[in-house]
Amino acid sequence: MLLETQNISKSFPGVKALDQVSLRLQPASVNALLGENGAGKSTLLKILTGVYARYEGTILLNGEPVRFGSVREARQAGIAIIHQELNLVPQLTVAENLFLGQELRTPLGLLDVAGMNRKTEEVLAKVNLAIPPQTRVQRLKVGEQQLVEIAKVLLTDAAVILMDEPTSALSDAEIDNLHRIIRALKQEGRTIVYISHKMDELFRIADTYSVLRDGVMQGEGRMADTTEQELIRMMVGRDVRIETKTNGTGKEEEVLRVSDLGLQHPYVSRRMALQGISFGLKKGEILGIFGLMGAGRTELLETLFGLHPDRSKFDLVLEGKPCKVQSPLSAIRQGLAFVTEDRKGEGLILGADISANISLPTLAGKAVLRKSKENAQARSYISRLAIKTPSEGQLCRNLSGGNQQKVVLAKWLSTQPRILFMDEPTRGIDIRAKHDFYELMKQLAAGGMSIILVSSEIPEILTLSDRILVMAEGRITASFSASDVDEDRLLKAALPGQINPDRRLRQP
Ligand SMILES: Nc1ncnc2c1ncn2[C@@H]1O[C@H](COP(=O)(O)OP(=O)(O)OP(=O)(O)O)[C@@H](O)[C@H]1O
Ligand SMILES: [Mg+2]
């Protein structure tokens, strides 16, 4: 065994996160770690990398007991981690982030800027990210930041690489590329631990599995000897009914019409990030928007939500009346809500508790909400979305990643918007919670809420949407009704280069 844990236990106030967990990892293997939100997966990886120095039990590295007091010690021992939460410094460049704390120096002891830039270019090419090393991280989308985090561990020569949901913000093409990288790492003899809620990925990449439930190891084995149903049963403790599609019909009343939307490119003058976008949204309709990374889906939602008033131009009709949305506040006043893809940056106040976070947007309108009412509301969402927490008074910082995402959803649902925008809403959410969430979405739509859903997960888009728009290169390339589309047609429409060449933009 390369790395082994024996009877690891870890408690937080009110929560036993890990209970006597033993895990054995062989060299040159890819090991899937599975479990529902809050099962203890991230906690285990954090113990292995010295983030938590206090725990019970033993870690053996090459047969020798080790105890890491810090992330640095673990890294020196050859264990590297890609954290679930992005950890880059937004104000620094990509190269600066990659070499933070491990700067290259010239023989004279000066910073070797050229060398670091060159190495950065090399690893960025490996992860297929075509950006200059000097790009500031704050300019990158969440998916791009995730690729930078992956590039960062590729710089190390760690023997063990722990990947905590490395693909949650990646689309299929980037996931394929990451899998190629992982296979190469395995060839080099390295050991990978891989966490993901996407089952099909695990069957493609992993050799072995280990399943945690409520901090207890439920089972281990070879992927080749198990099935998806069996793994789900171990995670959840029972069978889960996988969603079948039920789309409503007869939705007629139009609540939103967007005409000729254009958005100026943020950095390149005379270039458009979005162009010629027109569509309508009916009452009670779930409109899916599909596209590859960089197609402009997030920008479209941002523009409609009033986040780019200076760069955008469009006509908007809300429930039959022409109107203007020039700031998020005016968007909220018109009954719009926006679940953004960036939970850490925009979604949550991590230092506040669950109740406070959920009532935050409602507070913007009303003077003071009574704490008791706030708590009752929070408790109702905790049960509807199965948020795993000792109480509604738990700080969001202390929730697992998937449970934080559920609080973000609750926060915007509580505003009871007429129109809800959601950008990758189920990222990092486990299978059971996902299906509860799908049910809830359908109930809300049946009750008259209209939803625009951006998702890179094709099954999710197909399950939820009544109608699907496909975007590529800042334009809408196709529109399908959910009853006559399949994965193939969606993907074809999403490929760049679709647009009729004579309508194509002239790029400077
Ligand atoms: N710093 C902390 N303080 C208090 N409780 C914590 C803390 N960190 C984690 N927990 C709790 O420990 C449990 C395990 O959390 P962990 O983050 O390991 O889950 P996870 O399996 O990674 O889930 P997810 O799939 O949502 O990322 C959860 O109940 C979580 O709320
Ligand atoms: Mg986690």
Residue nearest to atom 1 of ligand 1 (CA): 398
The pLDDT of residue 436 is above 70: yes
Check residue 501 and give its pLDDT.
41
Q: What is the mean pLDDT of the chain?
A: 88
Q: How many residues in the chain?
A: 508
The predicted-structure confidence for 161-174, as pLDDT tens digits, reads as follows: 999 999 888 888 88
Query: Is 245 a residue whose pLDDT tops 90?
Result: no
Q: 166: left (phi > 0), else alpha (psi -120 to 50), else beta?
A: alpha
Tokens, residue 406:
């559920």
pLDDT of residue 506: 38
Q: Which atom of ligand 1 is nearest to the CA of 45?
A: 18
Smallest Cα–Cα separation from 217: which of 387, 56, 39, 55? 39
Does residue 84 line the site of ligand 1, with CB under 6 A?
yes
Give me 168's structure tokens.
Answer: 């949650």
CB 218 within 8 A of CB 23: no
Helix (H) or strand (E) holding 315: strand 312-318
Q: How large is the average pLDDT for residues 67-89?
A: 90
Residue pair 145/343 in contact (Cβ under 8 Å)? The answer is: no
Could you tell me the two tokens for 260?
A: 């000729």
- For a pocket test of ligand 1, which of 15, 23, 165, 426 has the largest count of ligand atoms closer than 8 A to its C-beta? 15
**Three-class SS state of 295:** coil
Measured in angstroms, how far is the CA atom of residue 338 from the centroid of ligand 1? 26
Provide the CATH number for the domain formed by 254-503 in this structure: 3.40.50.300
At residue 6, the pLDDT reads: 96
**What pTM does this model have?**
0.75
The closest of 350, 410, 417 to 383, measured between CA atoms, is 410
Which ligand sits closest to the CA of 46?
1
CA of 147 to the centre of ligand 1 (A): 24
Q: What is the mean pLDDT of residues 188-208?
A: 94
Residue 499 pLDDT exceeds 60: no
Please check whether the two domains, 3-236 and 254-503, share a CATH topology. Answer: yes
CB of 388 shorter than 6 A to ligand 1: yes
Over residues 339-348, the pLDDT tens digits come to 888 766 667 8
Topology of the domain covering 3-236: Rossmann fold (3.40.50)
Q: How far apart are CA 34 and CA 278, in angstroms?
A: 42
- 207-224 tens-digit pLDDT: 999 999 999 999 999 999
What integer pLDDT is reported at residue 347 of this predicted model?
Answer: 77
Mean pLDDT score, 180-190? 93
* Minimal-distance CA residue to ligand 1 atom 31: 399
The domain spans of the chain are 3-236, 254-503
pLDDT in tens, 251-292: 678 999 999 999 999 888 888 999 999 999 999 999 999 998
Q: Give the separation between CA 394 and CA 64, rounded to whole angstroms.
A: 38
Nearest CA to ligand 1 atom 16: 40
Closest protein CA for atom 12 of ligand 1: 17
- Cα-to-centroid distance, 330 and ligand 1 (Å): 36
Q: CA-to-CA distance for 149 and 81, rounded, in angstroms?
A: 9
Asked whether residue 50 carries a pLDDT value surpassing 80, the answer given is yes
Cβ-based neighbours of 230, under 8 Å, separated by 6 or more? none
